[in-house]
């Protein structure tokens, strides 16, 4: 058996040297020997030495490219849980980071799954990530679960179904969330075999029967694609596969189909060297095979939230068989296979420089990380921060309760039930008595002590609780149970705020403030008002501030009534606006807008009386409106102004200067359409030196609309200038 263990270790060593050549193999060997000695008396269900499990988990961790501390932690991950070894022992021999990772994996292992409702599962998934202060804890736990599922045949049927359901509902979704598609698919395939062995065997048998036919199809398509791409000088790797078992199972049973009715069984993957090749390959594929309308997705231009990138297209082959084609670069392929782990394994570019960090914006949102230093330093600072505003705790029966961060046992009690909170006399957190103000942490097990003779909540609880639900339930209790006490407490608070605001009882009586206030709040008596303040339904401070405003308003009204009446001025005759413009002293005048400057509401304007055409409206900064240029016509200039309200649109022009490229017309038009700006004329011309001038005549309601449109146009890639046209 020792030889078998040694052989497994040498296999692990080979994988590590291939994926992480800089690892300290002496330290990793020491971790292996420490784990082997700690588990020396333990066996697995198949009779093999227990240490073969940590070895297998470490091999998975090595394959996904984690660092040296992760490899050591994977080898030691069961020591605290299953042996006398302590956190301090591991820290002494292998350092603080390794010890904390092992402790984190141990905590996740101890989580009890008792409820399978969808909401509970989502809370568990969130809680697992929130509990893991270091993302490596989750990754090692997934590797641990993957190996356990690979060897599940040695467990009892009941254990197989329990672990398979747990894997399907908790660990596979987490792997998906972290972008680890390869591991997610294997977890799902292994789980469904135990959850529905008969259904899976039917699919497997159907695939076996058509194996030769499928192989021939794959070879024909693969050879044809490879030959075509090589002709055009594109280096590529092409291979086909049957979609994974659970994907087929889900389609068959959700759509009530047999295997022969599942059309998209086949998928081909084409891996190339750079992004431009991806789009070139897409063109060749669509030239070779007929694309299926509506079945194309560009996840390169718009990556999925978990960093996944590829071009997806569905086509129909010469035999009339539909299949999917995925086109990606090698870097995208590693991200698709290993998700978040690929960020560190492949973050070094071919030239040794750190790869473009813009590709990993999702990672930065997920993690609080510092990217200075080597991989070890990077992992050292790596923290999970997905659910910083939530805390996940357990009931004694194992159900997960989701609360706002900073919640206390009082919030927990009222989350369970109003009566639990009202009859609460104490709280135990992880078996230890705590104060009501104790802040709950992720993974805490909370037990509320209650008594039928409890006095009920205290007013201080309103300052302690964090969740709005708990605060409202405390207020409701005081409203219902302590009316007399609320009246006394509310009157004291109200009187104290009146004194603070220097408002006397005489002020309230003189202005008849209280009757108006009671009517406004729908209270019949002042006692009802005091009770509302007492149980927390009203704020005495806000109420008194409102009273002070009412007193000031009443004083102003009284002062106006005491002033002598002013002589009423006859209303000035309002000139009716024409096209939104008012011409001073002239009514029903023909108005037109000068083409030389095309004014719009918001522009300072001036009018010029034309012979036979009414008043021509110019912008004040228009060259044609300068009176010193036409001294003999000074008396023909009149004052004009914009009407207060106008719902019509006005024509004006925008000139955009930008670097010449494909799609500029579409970009400019798209921006204006998005702003609901009507385009009446569009002209583009070559301005020389690689520039293009686009002149657009548009209709806007006012200057603000024009400024907004010009600002958005300035944000278009390649734009060097945006200005208003002269007409």
Cβ pair 719, 677 in contact under 8 A: no
How many Cβ atoms from other residues are within 10 Å of residue 9's Cβ? Answer: 21
3 state SS for 502-562: CCCHHHHHHCCHHHHHHHHHCCCCHHHHHHHHHHCCCCHHHHHHHHHHHHHHHHHHHHHHH
Quick one: which of 67, 131, 110 has its CA closest to 441? 131
Residue 602 DSSP symbol: T
Report how far residue 727's alpha carbon sits from residue 725's, in angstroms, rounded to the nearest whole number: 6
Contacts (Cβ under 8 Å, ≥6 apart) of 296: 311, 312, 313, 314
| Strand-pair partners of 509 | none
pLDDT at position 363: 40
Instruction: Give just the sign of the alpha carbon dihedral 485, 491, 497, 499.
Output: negative
The secondary structure of 174-205 as a DSSP string is HHHHTT-HHHHHHHHHHHHHHHSHHHHHHHHH
Instruction: Give just the sign of the alpha carbon dihedral 58, 59, 60, 66.
Output: positive
| Strand-pair partners of 49 | 43
pLDDT at position 283: 92
Task: Give residue for tokens 């007929």.
Answer: 290
What angle do the packed helices 25-38 and 2-19 form, to 10 degrees?
150
Task: Give residue for tokens 């398509």.
Answer: 221
Contacts (Cβ under 8 Å, ≥6 apart) of 560: none
pLDDT at position 34: 94
pLDDT at position 112: 59
Report how far residue 94's alpha carbon sits from residue 73's, in angstroms, rounded to the nearest whole number: 9
What is the reported pTM? 0.51
Contacts (Cβ under 8 Å, ≥6 apart) of 261: none
Cβ pair 136, 70 in contact under 8 A: yes
Low-confidence stretches of the chain (pLDDT < 70) are 1-3, 110-133, 254-255, 260-264, 305-306, 339-389, 479-484, 505-506, 508-512, 535-537, 558, 561-576, 587, 626-632, 645-646, 727
pLDDT at position 346: 41
Report how far residue 658's alpha carbon sits from residue 665's, in angstroms, rounded to the nearest whole number: 11
Cβ pair 62, 15 in contact under 8 A: yes
197-254 tens-digit pLDDT:
888 888 888 888 888 888 888 889 999 999 999 998 999 999 888 888 888 888 777 6
Q: Which residues are designated catalytic?
A: 81-82
Report how far residue 387's alpha carbon sits from residue 404's, in angstroms, rounded to the nearest whole number: 10
Cβ pair 538, 517 in contact under 8 A: no
| Coil, helix or strand at residue 628 | helix
The secondary structure of 394-414 as a DSSP string is E-TTS-EEEEETT--HHHHHH
**CA geometry: angle at 49 spanning 44 and 50, to 5°?**
55
Quick one: which of 337, 368, 371 has its CA closest to 354? 371
Report how far residue 189's alpha carbon sits from residue 211's, in angstroms, rounded to the nearest whole number: 19
């Amino acid at each position: 058996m020792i030889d078998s263990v040694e052989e497994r270790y040498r296999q692990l060593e080979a994988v590590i040297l291939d994926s992480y050549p800089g690892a300290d193999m002496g330290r990793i060997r020491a971790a292996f020997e420490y784990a082997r000695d700690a588990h020396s008396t333990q066996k697995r269900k198949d009779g093999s030495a227990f240490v073969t499990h940590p070895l297998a988990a470490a091999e998975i961790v090595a394959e996904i490219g984690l660092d040296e501390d992760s490899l050591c932690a994977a080898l030691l991950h069961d020591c605290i849980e299953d042996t006398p070894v302590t956190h301090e022992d591991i820290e002494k021999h292998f350092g603080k980071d390794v010890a904390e990772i092992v402790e984190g994996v141990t905590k996740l292992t101890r989580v009890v799954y008792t409820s399978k409702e969808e909401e509970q599962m989502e809370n568990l998934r969130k809680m697992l990530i929130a509990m893991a202060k270091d993302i490596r804890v989750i990754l090692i736990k997934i590797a641990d679960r993957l190996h356990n599922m690979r060897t599940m045949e040695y467990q009892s049927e009941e254990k197989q179904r329990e672990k398979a359901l747990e894997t399907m509902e908790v660990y596979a979704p987490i792997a998906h969330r972290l972008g680890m598609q390869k591991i997610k698919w294997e977890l799902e395939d292994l789980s469904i075999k135990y959850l529905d062995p008969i259904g899976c065997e039917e699919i497997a048998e159907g695939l076996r029967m058509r194996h030769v036919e499928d192989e021939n199809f794959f070879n024909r398509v693969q050879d044809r694609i490879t030959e075509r791409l090589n002709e055009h000088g594109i280096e590529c790797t092409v291979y086909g596969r049957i979609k994974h078992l659970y994907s087929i199972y889900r389609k068959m049973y959700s759509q009530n189909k047999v295997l022969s009715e599942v059309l998209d069984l086949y998928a081909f993957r084409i891996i190339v060297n750079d992004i431009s090749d991806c789009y070139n390959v897409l063109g060749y594929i669509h030239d070779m095979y007929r694309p299926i309308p509506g079945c194309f997705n560009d996840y390169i231009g718009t990556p999925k939230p978990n960093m996944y990138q590829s071009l997806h297209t569905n086509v129909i082959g010469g035999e009339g068989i539909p299949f999917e084609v995925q086109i990606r670069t090698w870097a995208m392929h590693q991200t698709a296979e290993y998700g978040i782990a690929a960020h560190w394994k492949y973050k070094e570019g071919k030239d040794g420089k750190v790869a473009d960090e813009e590709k990993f914006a999702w990672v930065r949102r997920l993690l609080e990380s510092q990217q200075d230093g080597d991989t070890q330093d990077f992992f050292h600072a790596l923290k999970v921060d997905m659910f910083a505003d939530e805390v996940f705790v357990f009931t004694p029966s194992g159900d997960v309760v989701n609360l706002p961060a900073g919640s206390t046992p009082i919030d927990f009690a009222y989350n369970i039930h109003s009566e639990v909170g009202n009859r609460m006399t104490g709280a135990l957190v992880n078996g230890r008595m705590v104060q009501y103000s104790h802040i709950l942490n992720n993974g805490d097990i909370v037990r509320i002590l209650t008594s039928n003779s409890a006095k009920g909540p205290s007013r201080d609880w309103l300052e302690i609780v964090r969740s709005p639900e708990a605060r409202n339930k405390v207020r409701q209790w005081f409203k219902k149970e302590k009316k007399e006490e609320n009246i006394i407490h509310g009157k004291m608070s109200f009187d104290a705020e009146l004194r603070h605001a220097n408002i006397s009882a005489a002020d309230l009586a003189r202005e008849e403030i209280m009757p108006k206030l009671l009517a406004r709040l729908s209270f019949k008596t002042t006692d009802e008002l005091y009770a509302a303040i007492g149980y927390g339904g009203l704020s005495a401070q806000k109420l008194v501030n409102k009273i002070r405003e009412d007193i000031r308003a009443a004083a102003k009204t009284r002062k106006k009534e005491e002033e002598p009446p002013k002589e009423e001025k006859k209303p000035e005759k309002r000139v009716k606006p024409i096209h939104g413009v008012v011409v001073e002293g002239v009514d029903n005048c023909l108005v037109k807008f000068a083409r030389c400057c095309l004014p719009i509401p918001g522009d300072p304007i001036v009018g010029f009386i034309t012979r036979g055409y009414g008043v021509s409206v110019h912008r004040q900064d228009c060259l044609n409106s300068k009176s010193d240029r036409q001294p003999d016509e000074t008396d023909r200039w009149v004052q004009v102004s914009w009407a207060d309200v106008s719902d019509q649109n006005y024509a004006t022009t925008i000139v955009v200067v930008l670097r010449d490229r494909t799609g500029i017309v579409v970009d400019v038009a798209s921006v204006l359409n998005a702003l609901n700006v009507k385009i009446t004329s569009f002209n583009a011309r070559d301005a020389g030196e690689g520039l293009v001038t686009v002149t657009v005549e548009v209709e806007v309601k006012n200057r603000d609309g024009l400024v907004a449109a010009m600002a958005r146009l300035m944000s278009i890639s390649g734009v060097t200038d945006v200005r208003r046209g002269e007409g």
